[in-house]
């Protein structure tokens, strides 16, 4: 029996088209396999085959710890980009929050909880202000958030006088190991600090928000077509502004987790962080045009980018190669996504003809 054109099209679809996150997931799997093979071949050339350290439980947990802050911020960036926006200021806003907290508890004699609450409120206010301008005056978010990035950098430098500030372990509680005493098969101690749980919890919460609530559906509608969303009765301006406000909250939390990990506030702590955050969301399948993408894709994208840096260190390659690898991954992910979208449009066209 001859198959219909639609069935033939489905049969020709690659694995990259069988799921919203399949592209980035398969890229992650391919990368893991490639690094493991490189380690196996290298050890065999040396005269004996050893267990690939890249996939050891300790190293896998280490990757998650390394990407926790970027992963948290990728959740907020996903909401912003799905709504049709973008935020270039998250890196310098992170630096501002970390410096404000460190300065508050060390030099301004603020209780830790007060410094944290005030810093988060300021992050939300700053982001909401940018969101208000973007939504009310219909200006390019790229330009407004670029201005915000420069302003946050200046404010942070003024607060700290261009010097680093140690928190003296004030946030050490967020680094507490929740599996104290656990060891992997090789005998190495494993660690899951609290900030990793915060990363996973925020991922689940934002996933639920975007998938199962009216607010999430409205964000997708606004990102896909603002005019249609407006005609459907959605308050487009308020939705756009709210995505930036939510992003400010998430960036504030991520900055606290990052400060707990590095223990020192300095302007460079958030420098170029926006590149990794945007890259994680784009690699995860979030469209720059808005209306497309999901939280778990961004989660996998963050893990993939973190795995690249980790693998480069394990293989003792120059750090410059990380930029090359990340750039290639981004290009490959966007290209694969475009191919999948073109095939979906073709399949839809076939259905309409039939």
Banded model confidence at residue 1, pLDDT cuts 50, 70, 90: very low
What six digits make up the tokens of 110?
């603020």
**Residue 19: what pLDDT?**
66
Find the helix packing angle between 22-45 and 295-314, rounded to 10°.
10
Mean pLDDT of 81-98: 97
Distance between CA atoms of residues 139 and 241, nearest Å: 13
**Residue 237: what pLDDT?**
97
Would you say 97 and 117 are in contact if contact means Cβ atoms under 8 Å apart?
Answer: no
DSSP 187: S
Distance between CA atoms of residues 205 and 296, nearest Å: 11
pLDDT 10s digits, 291-341:
999 999 999 999 999 999 899 888 888 878 878 887 888 788 778 777 877
Highest mean pLDDT, choosing among 237-251, 278-292, 305-319 = 237-251
Helix (H) or strand (E) holding 265: strand 264-265
21-45+56-353 has which CATH code?
1.10.3470
**Residue 225: what pLDDT?**
95
Question: pTM for the full model?
Answer: 0.91
| Domains of the chain by residue range | 21-45+56-353
Distance between CA atoms of residues 21 and 337, nearest Å: 10
Burial label, 331 (beta-carbon count in 10 A; 0-12, 13-18, 19+): exposed
Helix count and strand count (H, E) for the chain: 13, 2
**Residue 3: what pLDDT?**
44
- Better-predicted residue by pLDDT, 8 or 328: 328
Mean pLDDT of 199-205: 97
Residue 10 has pLDDT above 50, yes or no: no
What six digits make up the tokens of 90?
């998250």
Count Cβ atoms below 10 Å from residue 22 Cβ, excluding itself: 17
Mean pLDDT of 190-211: 96
Q: Select from 94, 93, 91, 107 the least CA-distant residue to 165.
A: 107
**Least confident span in 125-134, 307-316, 340-349:** 340-349
């Amino acid at each position: 029996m001859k198959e219909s054109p639609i069935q033939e099209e489905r049969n020709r679809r690659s694995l990259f088209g069988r799921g919203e996150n399949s592209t980035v997931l398969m890229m992650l799997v391919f990368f893991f396999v490639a690094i493991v093979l490189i380690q196996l071949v290298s050890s065999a050339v040396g005269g004996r085959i050893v267990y690939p350290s890249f996939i050891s439980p300790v190293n896998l947990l280490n990757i998650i710890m390394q990407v926790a802050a970027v992963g948290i911020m990728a959740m907020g960036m996903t909401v912003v980009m799905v709504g049709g926006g973008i935020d270039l200021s998250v890196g310098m806003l992170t630096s501002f929050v970390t410096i404000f907290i460190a300065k508050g508890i060390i030099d301004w004699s603020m209780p830790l909880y007060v410094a944290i609450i005030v810093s988060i409120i300021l992050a939300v206010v700053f982001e909401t202000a940018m969101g208000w301008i973007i939504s009310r005056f219909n200006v390019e978010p790229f330009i407004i958030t670029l201005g915000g990035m420069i302003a946050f950098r200046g404010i942070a430098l003024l607060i700290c006088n261009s010097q680093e500030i140690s928190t003296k372990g004030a946030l050490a509680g967020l680094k507490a190991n929740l599996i104290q005493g656990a060891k992997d098969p090789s005998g190495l101690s494993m660690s899951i600090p609290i900030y990793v749980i915060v990363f996973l919890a925020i991922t689940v919460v934002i996933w639920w928000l975007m998938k199962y609530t009216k607010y999430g559906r409205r964000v997708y509608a606004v990102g896909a077509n603002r005019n249609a969303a407006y005609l459907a009765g959605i308050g487009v301006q308020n939705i756009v502004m709210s995505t930036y406000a939510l992003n400010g909250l998430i960036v504030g939390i991520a900055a606290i987790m990052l400060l707990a990990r590095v223990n020192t506030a300095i302007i460079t702590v958030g420098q170029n962080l926006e590149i990794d955050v945007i890259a994680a969301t784009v690699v995860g399948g979030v469209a720059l045009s808005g209306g497309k993408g999901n939280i778990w894709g961004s989660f996998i994208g963050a893990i993939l980018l973190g795995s690249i840096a980790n693998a480069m260190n394990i293989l003792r390659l120059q750090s410059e190669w990380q930029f090359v690898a990340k750039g290639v991954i981004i290009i490959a992910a966007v290209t694969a996504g475009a191919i999948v979208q073109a095939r979906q449009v073709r399949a839809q066209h076939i259905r309409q003809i039939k």
